[in-house]
Amino acid sequence: MAIIQLPKDLKFGVATAAYQIEGATNEDGRGQSIWDTFAKTPGKVVNGDNGDIACDSYHRYKEDVQLIKDLGCDMYRFSVSWPRILPNGTGDVNQAGLDYYHRLVDELIAQGIEPMCTLYHWDLPQALQDNGGWENRETIEAFVNYAEIMFKAFEGKINKWITINEPWCVSYLSNYLGVHAPGNQDLQAATTISHHLLVAHGKTVKRYRELGMEGEIGYAPNTTWKEPYSNQQQDIDACRREVGYLIDWFFDPVFLGSYPEHLVDWYKQKGVTLDIKAGDMELIQQKIDFVGINYYNGNVARYQSGSGLFDCEDIDMGYNRTDINWPIYPEGFYKVLTYIHDRYGDTPIYITENGACFNDDVQQGQVKDDGRIDYLKTHLASLQRSIDSGVPIKGYLCWSLLDNFEWAEGYTMRFGLVHMNYRTLERTKKDSYYWYQKVIDNGWYEL
Ligand SMILES: CCOCCOc1ccc(-c2cn(C[C@@H]3NC[C@@H](O)[C@H]3O)nn2)cc1
């Protein structure tokens, strides 16, 4: 048995997102988002699930803040539903939408919990999608306008802002692979969108600075790791392309001022190009105060001609898997964190999402989710190993507080520390909730 001692100043928290937990999709003037549309399109979401009710956190936020408080969390990462604030994406502000987030934030502050606010967690107003969505450069200005409204409305209350969550999911998963909303399958469109998202991020950071805001701002890319199966150059290069797909493509422009050449060339071979306007790269490179890193899984991989977008295929090494069939690979968490620190320097890092899907149910009032506890143990050990290697990690936010709407998987996949009965909306603390509560209290645990 090893004792993992975590830094005394490491912040702990949990994370959620608006469309996944709020419900109340037709209440208090909220406009429709692309996820309302996508979820109601037959065949897109398992069981035809949608976010109309979800966890009903819109009405039950006080109960959920109490769950966060009882955990002992320092921080809570939530997202704002853009169409609650601007039902048409631009134009008139919906005061009832702002009022809801004031209620939530005031409750967090009253309970001594620091709010970390994600401005964009995938629920683009449908009205903007009808006008081309993120493929249309006009959406960049619409996002900056929305962000400025939020910065001014919550000045002094919210001091940690995330512009965009997982731009890879917003661009490639949603517009090339077609798995998420709006469900397009166009590599050029996805690549154009990836650039517009980064410009929107940078322009928002610039506006935040121009407004003289006191807080901190960053973004939250998702990551993965691919460990080469052999030391053959073709395996090494294939893994570098796959890691670059999620990491380099979304980090290099922000931290190094340009896209990774090897991927620009790879896309060019596929007839895909970037339309970079004058000033775009300078905007993207605005200095940020922290970077949020989301990590769930990684794998061993090798070169395989014709496999995926980058001639790279995962190898089944027999690793244990979560109930969403993702390999459990804590080594990859360490590799991602040290790779990012080595390549991009000492920008402070918050782990803005890490967690596991295990679909354990309530038995006699208890949820024995040992798989989640083991996942958290091994991944927090990798986090500590990364900190010991000098990676400036300031906080860890577990995905997620509650079981919730897991996008295309609907309600079938459970990532929560708290179990949701979607019929009664009853919340039940899982064994992992109590385990995490103890770690937050003690600062150490046995591996
Ligand atoms: C058919 C081909 O499929 C390719 C991979 O398809 C996926 C699907 C889903 C993900 C995915 C889901 N999550 C968890 C969320 N992060 C943000 C928060 O909202 C969580 O709910 N992270 N990554 C990745 C890849």
**Buried/exposed code over 29-45 (b: 16+ C-beta within 10 A; e: otherwise):** ebbbbbbbbbbeeeebb
Distance 291 CA to ligand 1 centre (A): 19
Angstrom distance (rounded) from CA 218 to CA 266:
28
Q: How many domains does the chain have?
A: 1
Q: Does 131 have pLDDT greater than 90?
A: yes
> Phi/psi of residue 285, each to 5°?
-80, 5
Report the Cα 243 to chain-centroid distance in Å: 17
For atom 11 of ligand 1, the residue with the nearest CA is 169
Which SS3 state, helix, strand or coil, does residue 160 take?
strand
Tokens of 186: 């166009």
Q: Is 22 annotated as a binding residue?
A: no
405 lines ligand 1 (CB under 6 A): no
Q: Does 352 have pLDDT greater than 90?
A: yes
Segments of 121-247 assigned E as strands: 160-165, 216-220, 222-223, 226-228
Q: What is the dihedral of CA 232, 237, 240, 244, to 10 degrees?
A: -170
Q: Is 407 annotated as a binding residue?
A: yes
Q: What ligand 1 atom has the least distance to the C-alpha of 404?
A: 21
pLDDT digits (tens, 9 = 90+) for 293-308: 999 999 999 999 999 9
Q: Give the pLDDT score at 28.
A: 98
Q: Is 59 annotated as a binding residue?
A: no
Angstrom distance (rounded) from CA 348 to CA 66:
28
For atom 10 of ligand 1, the residue with the nearest CA is 169
222 lines ligand 1 (CB under 6 A): yes
Q: What is the DSSP string of 224-279?
A: --EEESSS-HHHHHHHHHHHHHHTHHHHHHHHTSS--HHHHHHHHHTT----PPTT
Rounded mean pLDDT of 52-71?
A: 99
Angstrom distance (rounded) from CA 79 to CA 90:
18
Distance 46 CA to ligand 1 centre (A): 14
Q: What ligand 1 atom has the least distance to the C-alpha of 20?
A: 19
- Asked if residue 436 lies in contact with residue 417, where contact means CB atoms within 8 angstroms, the answer is yes
CB atoms within 10 A of CB 130: 12
177 lines ligand 1 (CB under 6 A): yes
- Residue-averaged pLDDT of the chain: 98
Report the Cα 202 to chain-centroid distance in Å: 18
Confidence tier at 326 by pLDDT (50, 70, 90)? very high
CB atoms within 10 A of CB 15: 29
Question: What are the residues facing 327 on neighbouring strands?
Answer: 321
We report the CATH number of the domain holding residue 321 as 3.20.20.80
CB atoms within 10 A of CB 112: 9
Domain that holds residue 154: 3-446
Q: Give the pLDDT score at 266.
A: 98
Confidence tier at 384 by pLDDT (50, 70, 90)? very high
Confidence tier at 1 by pLDDT (50, 70, 90)? confident
Which phi-psi region, left, alpha or beta, contains residue 283 (left: φ > 0; alpha: ψ -120 to 50)? alpha
Q: Is 399 annotated as a binding residue?
A: yes
Rounded mean pLDDT of 23-43?
A: 98
% of the chain exceeding 90 in pLDDT? 100
Mutate to test the pocket of ligand 1, among 81, 407, 413, 417 (most ligand atoms within 8 A of CB): 407
Amino acid, single-letter form, for residue 295:
Y
- Model pTM greater than 0.90? yes
Q: Which of 135, 166, 227, 313 is catalytic?
A: 166
Distance 7 CA to ligand 1 centre (A): 30
Mutate to test the pocket of ligand 1, among 22, 169, 411 (most ligand atoms within 8 A of CB): 169
Report the Cα 29 to chain-centroid distance in Å: 26
% of the chain exceeding 70 in pLDDT? 100
373 lines ligand 1 (CB under 6 A): no
For atom 20 of ligand 1, the residue with the nearest CA is 406
Confidence tier at 48 by pLDDT (50, 70, 90)? very high
Beta carbons within 8 Å of 5's beta carbon, 6+ residues apart: 384, 443, 444
Beta carbons within 8 Å of 280's beta carbon, 6+ residues apart: 195, 199, 202
Q: Give the pLDDT score at 216.
A: 98
Q: Smallest Cα–Cα separation from 414: which of 321, 285, 322, 308?
A: 322
Distance 435 CA to ligand 1 centre (A): 25
166 an active-site residue? yes
Q: Give the pLDDT score at 16.
A: 99
Q: Give this complex's ipTM.
A: 0.96
Rounded mean pLDDT of 312-332?
A: 98
304 exposed, middle or buried (CB, 10 Å; 0-12, 13-18, 19+)?
middle
353 lines ligand 1 (CB under 6 A): yes
Mutate to test the pocket of ligand 1, among 179, 313, 398 (most ligand atoms within 8 A of CB): 179
Distance 213 CA to ligand 1 centre (A): 32
353 an active-site residue? yes
Q: Does 14 have pLDDT greater than 90?
A: yes
C-alpha to C-alpha distances, 228 to 240, 241, 315, 318, 430, nearest whole angstrom: 9, 11, 10, 16, 36
